[in-house]
Structure 1
């Protein structure tokens, strides 16, 4: 009887994990068992929305010329789910060392899915760091641009600028017996500015207007970034 109950328990766990896997996100099974049906559906919907938001944030950062606001709350939820899932995997891996279980293959699938999500997060972060490297002086001069960074990114940018200033002084000014006047950013010719006329492809989420042109829901529209940036921020358009 104990063996039958153990088999039934393992089947339930396996089914729960498979359902979470198909939903593209996973949460600790212990937590999901302690909530009622309404809360479970709410959590599943939240996970799906978060995954779609992450995908779209990644696409947006990749396709537009300027740096976008950091998805602070989204990343907090993502990292918390990843942490819980890794704890679940580690807990079951310890048990697998003493007893073989059918759940082993499913754990491998979960690990693969987590790697995919972590890849997307790393790619998102790298895209932002590249823009910070390229537009550091511009971002530093514009408070509204600096507000788009999180604290770690601001620290990274300040370190990048400090290193850039030191390199400039060491490689050029000292060798030419010159003295740097002020900051590098004061020389406007040295400030790299994002090309806001860069073309982007968008899709209308709802009926809207772009540069006084009426765009119907579902329509695909190609325009300069400066023309559609407000529509993207308002949620009327999304980048493809």
Structure 2
């Protein structure tokens, strides 16, 4: 059962095509700097029940920024005679930014690794999920699958009748629960969202909701909503 923090008026029919196009217009999304974008994707990854799209392009930009700032830090640190009060404060800001971005990058990687450890069979077998993984993710899942399956065969399955040794049957694969409830914040008005037994719901900018992940998955991917 889904709950929403806002009470929307009942709607007798689906919104017009114009409304639907307006609700998914990416130009309406709020602007964010690199640090804010990185933070948003980390929190989304942390609270989403499934593995989300790997933000490879963003991470490359972040790592490039860290490298640039590290070089600037070295220049300032190697010229102590030029460290006026203003430059000293700038040095502290650069150090803080570097540590902040490094922390979020590591936290983001840990979130993904935790899900890959849990859902490696699903990640390798589900086409949609595979499309969201980087090459490194896929290689990690393959290694994890090989290690776990070999361990199970050596310790348990090898002692069972052949018909009980399969590990790829549907009931044996751990899959994410897409009907799990999540808290969302609406970054840009979007919708409609269709919930079982209720009228279509339009998500208004700035509103917060507790709703099933499956119902807002599309708008999370487009950036119109964020988790947390």
Q: Give the drift of 1:182.
A: 7.5
- Between the aligned partners of 1:179 and 1:95, the Cα distance in structure 2 is 71
Ranges of 4+ aligned residues in structure 1 off by more than 6 Å = none
Q: Give the drift of 1:171.
A: 1.5
CA contact (8 A) 1:169 1:180 kept: no
- Between the aligned partners of 2:203 and 2:189, the Cα distance in structure 1 is 8
Aligned residue number for residue 185 of structure 2: 203
Query: So what's the TM-score if we normalise by structure 1?
Result: 0.72
CA contact (8 A) 2:181 2:211 kept: yes
Q: Is the alpha carbon distance of 1:114 and 1:108 closer, same or farther for their aligned partners in structure 2, counting shifts above 3 Å? A: same
CA contact (8 A) 2:181 2:210 kept: yes
Q: Give the drift of 1:200.
A: 0.9
Q: Which has the higher helix share?
A: 1
Mark the structure with the bigger radius of gyration. Answer: 1
- Between the aligned partners of 1:118 and 1:191, the Cα distance in structure 2 is 34
SS in 1 for 2:79: helix
Query: So what's the TM-score if we normalise by structure 2?
Result: 0.75
**Structural RMSD (CA):** 2.2
Q: Is the alpha carbon distance of 1:218 and 1:100 closer, same or farther for their aligned partners in structure 2, counting shifts above 3 Å? A: closer
Q: Is the alpha carbon distance of 1:234 and 1:108 closer, same or farther for their aligned partners in structure 2, counting shifts above 3 Å? A: closer
Aligned residue number for residue 126 of structure 2: 142
Any gaps of 5 or more consecutive residues in structure 1? 1-45
Q: Give the drift of 1:91.
A: 2.9
Q: Give the drift of 1:106.
A: 3.4
Q: Give the drift of 1:196.
A: 0.7
**Aligned positions of 1:99-178 closer than 5 A:** 99=81, 101-102=83-84, 103-174=87-158, 176=159
